[in-house]
Amino acid sequence: MKKALLTGINDYKGEDSDLRGCINDVRNLSKMFCDMSFYVYTLTNSEVTKKGFTEQVKDLLLSGTPGDELVISYSGHGTQVPDFSGDEADNFDEALYLYDEPLIDDELQRLLAYKPEGVHLTLIMDCCFSGTNTRSIQKKPRFLPYMNVGIDENGNLTRKRRKRNIFRSAGMDHVVITGCAEQQTSADAYLNGQYNGALTYYAVKSFTKGMTYSQWYKEIRRHLPSRYFDQIPQLEGRQDLFQRGAFGLPATYTKKCFLKFW
């Protein structure tokens, strides 16, 4: 069984908080996974509350059986909140800024623990977790400060920078592709006649059948960073998972639109 839960938020509360490309990200990913015979479920805008998101993720994971391929994507604002657990060197927890409140990385990790052993899980996170950026006609950062915590007089995050491109973890049994490094922002960008997340746009554009995660990531990195976008996508997980066929897809397969909820 192959299932994908795709989420995106354009319409945030507040006059200056809206994004333009997140629903298009969901549409583009929906087509991509539908073509790979995934059951596709979508949540957008006010449906992506913390309660709704966590319940849907939990249900998706608990529905998995060994050998299943599951995907979770999020397109929207990222943010930071103070770290009260003491597990962050820079004293900030990265978080998804959902429709009504943040979901911090510690909560997300506890949620992912519902995944049964033997289920293959991929996460695509097209948002900002930290960093600075400038607004322009061409792009807008997918970063929204939460209660202005850790913001200096110039609007920049006050934090120690950490750099990584590929993060390998021996205890991590899923694959994550993010839009940028922890000190950066991901762009909500105007590309090829419409707004999209830069990561999602180039991830879909770069994907071909039979790719491993490592090969897919290398293709994405041909486009990001660039002269227009300084964000550096991240690939996280165990080295052996990077060598699997992305989404369990063999080198040859029959393209089939299996089912789509939209």
Provide the annotated active-site residues.
77, 128
Token pair 């397109």 is found at 75
Give Cβ neighbours of residue 63 (< 8 Å, ≥ 6 apart): 3
Kindly report the number of other CB atoms within 10 A of residue 88's CB atom: 19
- Cα torsion 239, 162, 87, 64: sign: negative
* Residue for token pair 């519902």: 114
CA-to-CA distance for 254 and 73, rounded, in angstroms?
Answer: 24
If we measure between CA atoms, which residue out of 188, 151, 138, 173 comes closest to residue 17? 188
Specify the 3-state DSSP secondary structure of 6: strand
Determine the Cα–Cα distance for residues 37 and 183; give it in Å rounded to an integer: 36
CA dihedral 145, 175, 5, 8 (to 10 degrees): 30
Q: Is the peptide bond before 66 cis (omega within 30 degrees of 0)?
A: no
Alpha carbon distances (Å) from 33 to 43, 52, 155, 247: 15, 22, 38, 9
d(CA 133, CA 139): 10
Bridge partners (DSSP) listed for residue 235: 166, 177
